[in-house]
Amino acid sequence: MQYLKFDVFEKSINTIETASGSAVVFMAKENKKKIFVIQGKNASSLGFNAQVIESGILRADLNHENACVLRKIFPFTAPVRGLRKNTSFGLGDRLGIATSGHLRLFEKNDVFPVFAQQSVRELNLTNRTYEEVLDAVSFAVYREGFKKGFGADGDHLKTAKDIEYALSLGFTMITLDCSDHIKNENPQSYPQLSKYYADKYLNRTFIIEDTNLVFTEEELKQCISIYKEAVLFAEDIYNRFFASGKYNADLEISIDETESVTTPLAHFFAARELLDLGVSFASLAPRFCGEFQKGIDYKGDLTQFENEIKIHAAIARHFGYKLSIHSGSDKFRVFPVISRQTGGRFHIKTAGTSWLEALRIAAEFDPSLYREIHLSALTVFGDAKKNYHVTAALSEIPDISFLKDEELHTLFENDNARQLLHITYGQILNKKNNDGSFVFKDRLYTLWQSYENEYFKALEKHIGKHLELLNI
Ligand code: ZN
């Protein structure tokens, strides 16, 4: 649809009543730039920071100030709580361009999507702020007319300062990363068993559905030594930010980014201690057996995984929260197991896979740019590995000088190449020329803008495969 000189996003047309009559607000493209257009006698009363195009018609930029106005007058563009719903799905978007593709998958099912999901590590590596993360999602949701509600997750936060930052912006979920307070297993440092723990856990059988959990003295000491401090840390954070109900947000407890695999006994112990201290949380992310590495399928013993997640899911049901599965992208082997054993009650997080799909677009539509990026990624892989645990071997990645342009897409089926590209996003996006300009970033964003619909389709297909195997 054309309006004046604008290409209008038709699903974004909304009418709103003001004190002195109605106004129409929509998003449009002016040249290549997205803007808001506000039309109506009292258009300026809505509060957008805008310029007058002609009498009764305003133009407003997509900036933070206007995002705040948008969330106020169109509440469907603001995040809401939904982690306690049966199934929820996190979709991190490191680039701020994927949400329009993501949300198409959630129009027709009962799954609660968490479109804004970013860790501080990702913010730092992409030079973004939580304002930008949330604003990009609000704009996409407005543009597509997605009115079902979505969440915003301050992901893997470790400090009170970061938590307060995310909550003050209206994030509706905090994933508390307890890993700095989880001790590595060390039998030499096991504590003396206090009467409190001995009375509570020894010589008892905890019946969780069809599993009996029994602690030996050694196992109990191990749980205390690994998780006690993490439990106290979570209690402190809960009391500071969640107990009063000041912020309208859900809490997820994450104990996954550690060396210690969370055994069913350890899960039971940590959950029981948290709940007895009054810490109420909607979900918990254990570290499962096997490996959930970034960007590739599950590595490990499927039978053991199924046996253990069965008990983890039962413990979560017993206490009344749900399991959260982190690094959930591309874990196609285990999706049917997760769906079966949780009965569809879970939260799952994906992020980097949407970045990989964006690079797939680059490989397809600008092969020479992709080649430059690929060669650059190879040189910074060692550095990027400090931030992420991956096992990719560069020697297993085909030499791209032997690949024809139309063969570049095969790299996205190669686990080693996937991990190479998955974890080097920060270095790729931030790489600068001598004059301070970006080597790749601006060219990539220009390309992604030109092939926006192709990107959305790729996301729909790839994330859609996740939903299918998860039986959503
Ligand atoms: Zn995690």
291 shares its domain with 413: no
Q: How much is the average pLDDT of 230-253?
A: 97
Looking at beta carbons, which pairs linking 245-250 to residues 24 or more positions away fall under 8 Å? 247/167, 248/81, 248/172, 249/81, 249/167, 249/171, 249/172, 249/173, 249/174, 250/81, 250/82, 250/83, 250/84, 250/151, 250/172, 250/173, 250/174, 250/281, 250/282, 250/283
Q: Is 107 part of the annotated catalytic residue set?
A: no
254 shares its domain with 163: yes
pLDDT at 415: 96
**Least confident residue range of 42-46, 288-292, 371-375:** 42-46
Tens digit of pLDDT for each residue in 444-455? Answer: 999 999 999 999
**pLDDT reading at 177 higher than 90:** yes
**pLDDT reading at 240 higher than 80:** yes
| Residue 84, Cβ density class (10 Å: 0-12 exposed, 13-18 middle, ≥19 buried) | middle
Q: How much is the average pLDDT of 309-333?
A: 98
Q: Is 383 part of the annotated catalytic residue set?
A: no
Residue 327 CA, ligand 1 centroid: distance in Å: 6
Residue 254 CA, ligand 1 centroid: distance in Å: 6
**pLDDT reading at 32 higher than 90:** no
**CATH number, domain containing residue 339:** 3.20.20.70
Residue 156 CA, ligand 1 centroid: distance in Å: 7
Question: Which among 63, 85, 108 is the end of a domain?
Answer: 63
Select from 173, 169, 177, 209 the least CA-distant residue to 282: 173
Residue 390 CA, ligand 1 centroid: distance in Å: 14
pLDDT at 380: 96
363 shares its domain with 433: yes
Tens digit of pLDDT for each residue in 182-212? Answer: 998 887 878 789 999 999 999 999 999 999 9
Give the span between the Cα atoms of 324 and 342, in whole angstroms: 10
95 shares its domain with 210: yes
- The answer to the question of residue 235 being in a domain is yes
**pLDDT reading at 19 higher than 90:** no
pLDDT at 420: 97
Structural domain span for residue 349: 77-353
Q: How much is the average pLDDT of 222-235?
A: 96
204 shares its domain with 319: yes
Residue 469 CA, ligand 1 centroid: distance in Å: 21
Select from 163, 389, 104 the least CA-distant residue to 257: 389
pLDDT at 2: 66
139 shares its domain with 160: yes
- The answer to the question of residue 33 being in a domain is yes
Band of residue 378 on the pLDDT scale cut at 50, 70, 90: very high
Which of the residues 153, 252, 330, 415 is marked catalytic?
252
283 shares its domain with 366: no
Strand boundaries in 105-149, DSSP class E: 112-119
Return the ∠ at Cα 385 (arms to 309 and 388), rounded to 5°.
30
**pLDDT reading at 260 higher than 90:** no
Task: Kindly report the length of the chain.
Answer: 472
- The answer to the question of residue 320 being in a domain is yes
286 shares its domain with 312: yes
- The answer to the question of residue 470 being in a domain is no
Residue 122 CA, ligand 1 centroid: distance in Å: 13
Question: Which among 307, 332, 353 is the end of a domain?
Answer: 353
Residue 119 CA, ligand 1 centroid: distance in Å: 10
99 shares its domain with 19: no
CB-based contacts of 53, cutoff 8 Å, min separation 6: 4, 37, 59
Number of domains in the chain: 3
Q: How much is the average pLDDT of 260-277?
A: 96
- For 358-425, the three-class secondary structure string (H helix, E strand, C coil) is HHHHHHHHCHHHHHHHHHHHHHHHHHHCCCCCCCCCHHHCCCHHHCCHHHHHHHHHCHHHHHHHHHCH
Instruction: Give, to the nearest 10 degrees, the angle between helix 415-423 and helix 367-384.
Output: 80
Q: Is 233 in contact with 178 (CB distance < 8 Å)? A: yes
Residue 388 CA, ligand 1 centroid: distance in Å: 11
- The answer to the question of residue 72 being in a domain is no
241 shares its domain with 379: no
201 shares its domain with 269: yes
Residue 328 CA, ligand 1 centroid: distance in Å: 9
Give the span between the Cα atoms of 418 and 196, in whole angstroms: 49
Select from 227, 212, 136, 406 the least CA-distant residue to 128: 136
Region of residue 125 (left: phi > 0; alpha: psi -120 to 50; beta: else):
alpha
pTM to 2 decimal places: 0.95
Instruction: Give, to the nearest 10 degrees, the angle between helix 415-423 and helix 352-365.
Output: 110
Select from 339, 342, 326, 340 the least CA-distant residue to 293: 326
137 shares its domain with 99: yes
- The answer to the question of residue 183 being in a domain is yes
Choice between 212 and 1, residue whose per-residue pLDDT is larger: 212
Which of the residues 93, 135, 144, 155 is marked catalytic?
155
- The answer to the question of residue 57 being in a domain is yes
- The answer to the question of residue 267 being in a domain is yes
CA dihedral over 455, 457, 460, 462, signed as positive or negative: negative
**pLDDT reading at 5 higher than 80:** no
Residue for token pair 């009467």: 195
Residue 35 φ/ψ, nearest 5 degrees: -140, 165
Question: Which among 353, 375, 390 is the end of a domain?
Answer: 353
